[in-house]
Amino acid sequence: MNKAEKLLKDKALVRWGVLILLASMMFFAYMFMDVLSPLKSLLEETQGWTSENFGIVTGSEYFLNVFAFFLIFAGIILDKMGVRFTALLSAVVMLVGAAIKYYALTDAFVGSGLEAWLNSWWTTLPASAKMASVGFMIFGCGVEMAGVTVSKGIVKWFKGKELALAMGIEMAIARLGVFAVFRISPRIAESMGNVSASVLLTMVLLLIGLLAFSVYFFFDKKLEQQMGLQGDEPEEEFKISDLGKLFTSKAFLIVSGLCVLYYSAIFPFQKYAANMLECRLQISAKEASDIFSWFPIGAMVLTPLLGAYLDNKGKGATMLIIGAVLMCCCHLTFALVPEAYFTPVVAYTAIIVLGVSFSLVPAALWPSVPKLVEDRYLGSAYSVIFWIQNIGLWAFPLLIGVALDRTNIGVTNPLEYNYTVPMLIFASLGVLAFVLGIWLKKEDRSKGYGLELPNISKN
């Protein structure tokens, strides 16, 4: 191959097409992640789940990633085996977990020997919740593996180009999955009279995502062949000892802390948001889901724009600080605005502002990581951040469920919960994230990581 000939990634149409392939799976994965979030009250009525049971199931997505260190292994697999292999593996794992979770909520599971056995121990957690948790644990391994793989894949195709914009668009497409599932899930459950129909639909969509990853496989293989023919120097191989460099980097640990605090105030909140709005506004699950569905729209629209700004102007650390402040203000609104003044307009405003916050932080966070670590262990770096993040994503759904039950003793109607304490817990995470954001900006100023500098190379 002639060195003057363009690589595939130098052709705008091809690299943006590759981005769509990678992002489509994350769109479907985000739909499956939140398919039960609008159905909390229905699950309590039909499956006998308590808020704590709901928290255990939703938090189980991250259990194996945290306690079996699967995410760390996923990063090592990614750095050793490459993006193509890991992408396909993650898709298959997601599908296996999705199928188990779907089975747990079907009539076929009811009355089975497996249900009887599961009901014979840990009797406070229904058999359907136990089985759904197992499926969600497996799905969680796949979706987090896919997340780090997609991040490294985007860096591979966009480094030195529109990296933050590409990551922003990928995140925007994924967020659109949240909008879609909050609109679709309660309607399907209502029309079919069960929650399993919604789960089935999103499981089928994951199959389409697998096809998208399969097409990506061939583009990525062709790119590597071109790079080999151009005589590019192979990068130094990843070593297990490189992980030690991550845990001794102050800036990397601050970014990881920011990540766990911020995402713990967002994703666990998504699981309870519809029920919170049902209780505060005394509306149906469908109406509450429609209101919350606008949350990712602000992020979807602004994240690519902020990514483009970050590529050209910089100010990544500043964005992280502003995002933390906005997030804290929104959760305080849900916690402290008196019932007489908490109208649908207030709810919509807070939800949309939270979406703006959700665009500022991820747009700045993920493109900053390549500035802190070397390429050869970039996959492991993303995995370590995701692992630390997953600790919060496992713990906080359970913590919020327990707090909800403990502060609503005697409440049996899932439409009458008081959400003040859970919302204050979420707001406190925003305060801590703000403190870490200030610390990160100070660290960047003294060490010169370039977090406030543009991503696009000018030479």
Please report, as a single letter, which amino acid is at residue 298.
G
Give yes or no for a contact between 341 and 130, defined as CB atoms under 8 angstroms apart: no
The answer to whether 433 and 262 have CB atoms below 8 angstroms apart is yes
74 is written with which tokens?
């996923």
The pTM of the whole model exceeds 0.95: no
DSSP line for 119-184? HTSSTTS-HHHHHHHHHHHHHHHHHHHHHHHHHHHHHHHHTTSSHHHHHHHHHHHHHHHHHHHHHH
Please compute Rg for the chain using Cα positions.
Answer: 22
Dihedral of the CA atoms 347, 349, 354, 357 (nearest 10)?
A: -170
Quickly count: other Cβ atoms within 10 Å of residue 406's Cβ: 11
Nearest to 322 by CA among 246, 238, 262: 262
Distance separating alpha carbons of residues 456 and 408, to the nearest angstrom: 52
Which domains does the chain carry?
12-447 (1.20.1250.20)
Q: Which two tokens stand for residue 71?
A: 């995410």
pLDDT tens, the chain, 459 aa long: 454 567 888 888 899 999 999 999 999 999 999 999 999 999 998 888 999 999 999 999 999 988 988 877 887 888 788 888 999 999 999 999 999 999 999 999 988 999 999 989 888 899 999 999 999 999 999 998 998 889 888 988 888 788 878 887 888 888 889 999 999 999 999 999 889 999 999 999 999 999 999 999 999 888 888 877 544 444 445 566 667 777 888 888 998 899 899 999 998 999 999 999 999 999 998 999 999 998 888 777 777 777 778 778 878 788 888 989 999 999 999 999 999 999 999 999 999 889 888 877 776 777 778 888 777 777 778 778 878 888 999 999 999 999 999 999 988 888 899 999 999 999 999 999 999 999 988 988 888 878 777 766 665
- Residue 309: predicted pLDDT: 82
Give the DSSP H or E segment for 264. helix 250-264
369, 381 contact by CB (below 8 A): yes
Neighbours of 228 (CB within 10 A): 11
Helix (H, G, I), strand (E, B) or coil at 47: helix
Tokens of 61: 């997505």
Which one, of 147, 135, 118, 128, lies nearest residue 61 by Cα? 135
DSSP 454: -
CB burial readout 64-102, b (16+ within 10 A) else e: bbbeeebbbbbbbbbbeebbbebbbbbbebbbebbbbbb
Q: Which of 29, 23, 32 is nearest to 185 (CA)?
A: 32
